Structure 1
Amino acid sequence: MEYGEEEFLACCGSTRFAHELAKVSPFSSLQEAIAAARDVWFNKVDVNGWLQAFSAHPQIGHSPSPSSSSSSAHSTSAQWSKGEQSTALATATSSSLQELYEWNARYREKFGFVFLICASGRSTDEILDELKKRYPNRPIIEFEIAAEEQMKITELRLAKLFSTKAKVSSTGDQFPETASKKAEDRVSIIGGHLTATVSDASVGKTSASPNPTRTRPPITTHVLDVSRGSPGAGIEVHLEIWKGPQPRPLFGKADTGGWAFLGSSITNNDGRSGQLMSIVDAVNPGIYRISFNTGKYCPSGFFPYVSIVFEIKKSQEQEHFHVPLLLSPFSFSTYRGS
């Protein structure tokens, strides 16, 4: 897949970065793109480029300001910024927002640029604590920290860019591949982990048709380790469906064993899981849960495991649900891919 400067500019607001990364594209995988991005950002972008990228971000706790710019890069970047700050805004109070505003102003007066942090999955209190912790830093130290945070944000956005591209790709691959590998990879993805499924009768799944139109299971996932800038390999993944006495698990109540196991797998070197369920034309509507054994993968991290619960509605039986995990030792996020 081809990527242009405008798309890379949405991932990082430095025009030098976007130009240099476009020069070395296309990329055969997200991992390759992230490696190239890190090289460009730290070795080819100068101080002015770093400051330009910093200035493209809205102040933490504020939605991106309206702009007369018709640039698709600006529009996409603003949309992503809003999503990245969603947890902070959802957990904010009027007093915490005011305190965040005051500390942001104090920080900018001292360092000359906006306080930059990879805000995805972080609460307002967590961001405030980090801002206060970093404020005493010497400017040169803080400048380097901000550049590292910018790279974390760029990596997350590159993952979103790849996901968006994959949505319109006829191959259905979650990580773009070279043309010579498409057929081989499709076969390995479809048939690599057939033993990881359970019988239709035990979990009430829709039976596979003799000639399904899908070429992959309707629910898939992958793991990106954003702290390392690489796929999360060797992580055990479980897929379950809710079969409890209530129509759905009740918030704040024990599930009393209401989850039925569908399948499991181990993520490969590209961070992709194997086949977690059968390839069927129509997936059963219901509440699903994907769990990741993050404690074994990162023993020093904060999360012993991560579970993502989502709902498939009756009207969505024919759709595909790609539910990735973007993981670091102390935060995680997800989104619906394709």
Structure 2
Amino acid sequence: MPAQRRGAPGLAHFNTAPDDFAEAVLLACCGSRRWAQRMGAHRPYPDLDALLAASDEAGYDLSPADLSEALADESSSGLHPGAPQAAQTALSAAHAAYESRFGHAFVICLDGYRPEEYLDQVLAGIRTRLAHEPDEERAVSAEELRGLARSRLAHVVANHPETDAAGASR
């Protein structure tokens, strides 16, 4: 079984880290304090699968206020500075339209896509989701947020034990 599935060094570090450090890492994965506190309180996790399952469960249990808090903590992602100006403009306009309609940043989990596909996926996602009713979009956003939390946790604990969810060194 790969190291990331059984007792990866990053998971051991996360399991034994001081509570304030673990909570900060968790808040970088999902901006709901209730979610982060719940995840931190259930340490230690025996393996990555258990951690990700707990993340999903805690994500499904977010109250509307918890979800609002988590969504308020998200920011719309931009392109790398070298991207063409037309792409930057299109992305900025799409994000502004989305945020104007729904009142929070557009969230999307891009796991499974190659980096060169990100822009197209984000623009297509925004285009599609702008047609949603607010309640439908809230449910979609919650699902995307759960995916992002899983991805960020996996990155932190399995791949980069000494970094936070944004990749910054501790």
- Aligned mates of 1:100, 1:157 — CA distance in 2: 23
What secondary structure does 2:80 align onto? Answer: helix
Deviation at 1:116, TM superposition (A): 0.8
User: Scaled by the length of structure 2, what TM-score is found?
Assistant: 0.74
Aligned match of 2:106: 115
Structure having the higher helix fraction is 2
User: Scaled by the length of structure 1, what TM-score is found?
Assistant: 0.39
- Aligned mates of 1:155, 1:90 — CA distance in 2: 27
Quick one: higher RCO (CA 8 Å, sep 6+), 1 or 2?
Answer: 2
Aligned residues: 140
Aligned match of 1:57: 74
Aligned match of 1:18: 36
5+ residue gaps, structure 1, are: 62-87, 168-338
Structure having the higher strand fraction is 1
Query: Equivalent of 1:155, from 147, 150, 170?
Result: 150
The within-5 A match list for 1:1-338 is 1-2=15-16, 4-43=22-61, 45-61=62-78, 88-89=79-80, 92-119=83-110, 121=115, 122-163=117-158, 164-165=160-161
In 2 relative to 1, CA 119–89 (structure 1 residues): closer, same or farther, beyond 3 Å?
farther
- Aligned mates of 1:110, 1:159 — CA distance in 2: 31
Runs of 4+ in 1 over 6 A off after TM superposition: none
What secondary structure does 2:106 align onto? Answer: coil
- Aligned mates of 2:120, 2:83 — CA distance in 1: 8
- Aligned mates of 1:41, 1:123 — CA distance in 2: 24
Counterpart code for 1:46: S
- Aligned mates of 1:106, 1:115 — CA distance in 2: 10
Report if aligned partners of 1:5, 1:19 keep a CA contact under 8 Å in 2. yes
Report if aligned partners of 2:107, 2:144 keep a CA contact under 8 Å in 1. yes
Deviation at 1:91, TM superposition (A): 8.0
Report if aligned partners of 1:100, 1:128 keep a CA contact under 8 Å in 2. yes
Report if aligned partners of 2:75, 2:106 keep a CA contact under 8 Å in 1. no
5+ residue gaps, structure 2, are: 1-14, 163-170
What secondary structure does 1:89 align onto? Answer: coil
- Aligned mates of 2:118, 2:39 — CA distance in 1: 32
Give me the CA root mean square deviation.
2.1
Identity of aligned residues (%): 25
Deviation at 1:60, TM superposition (A): 2.3
